[in-house]
Structure 1
Amino acid sequence: MSQTQTRLLIRNEHVESEMIGNEWILLNMKEHVATKLNELGGYIWSIIPEYGHMEGIIEKIAEEYDIDRHTAEQDVKPFIEELLGSGLLTYAG
């Protein structure tokens, strides 16, 4: 397990989120940018405060969707990296 998988993830304080139907809309109020997430992306977004780090999120997705850990990691890791790259998430500290 890499160090980045255990670092605490924090949502950008300028981002508001809302679930509409099966999709999530993230609004970065500072940048005036909207991002639409599918059902899985929205679910991951919603559990970040509770599970806090990538490893916990991967384990929860594997359990919730009844898939193996490797498959969950293949879905979660690039998505989290994309959120980090777009500034919607950051690492604590």
Structure 2
Amino acid sequence: MNKNVESTTNHVYSQSPGNIVSDMDGDKVMLSVHNGKYYNLGELGGAIWDLIKEPLTFQQLVETLRSQYEVDQTECEEQVTDFLSKLKKDGLITIEDKVDA
């Protein structure tokens, strides 16, 4: 598993500000205002992007996706880890320590 993203409940993931996102034939595409790059998030990436409008833990993301798509736990965790790692590398997400209320 890629160690760039923590798959624990100790962190929450959310969108970083400064991105313009649009739907194109079922896929989401995004322009980062900060780095000037375009990204094709695809269908699953777009679903993850929509989910992290509000801060979520890794497990919350995986559970929500598994309820929407037919995918096993391990594959879902790997896909989410890979996608979040790419977003983190390009500064497109915010990762914060979870604060229990």
State the TM-score bracket (shorter-chain normalisation): 0.7 to 0.9
- Report how many residues are paired: 91
Query: Which protein, 1 or 2, shows the higher relative CO under an 8 Å CA cutoff with sep ≥ 6?
Result: 2
Which runs of 5 or more residues in structure 2 are unaligned?
none
Matches within 5 A, 1:1-93: 4-5=6-7, 6=9, 7-50=11-54, 52-92=56-96
Which runs of 5 or more residues in structure 1 are unaligned?
none
1:10-34 deviation per Cα after TM superposition (whole angstroms, max 9, x unaligned): 2111112111111111111122111
Which of structure 1's runs of 4+ aligned residues deviate more than 4 A? Answer: none
Checking the alignment, whether the CA contact within 8 Å between 2:14 and 2:54 is kept in structure 1 is no
TM-score with structure 1 setting the length: 0.84
TM-score with structure 2 setting the length: 0.78
Identical columns (%):
23
SS in 2 for 1:4: coil
CA RMSD in angstroms, aligned pairs only: 1.9
Task: Measure the CA separation in 2 of the matches of 1:83 and 1:15.
Answer: 12
Checking the alignment, whether the CA contact within 8 Å between 2:31 and 2:38 is kept in structure 1 is yes
1:52-84 deviation per Cα after TM superposition (whole angstroms, max 9, x unaligned): 122111111112113221121121111111111
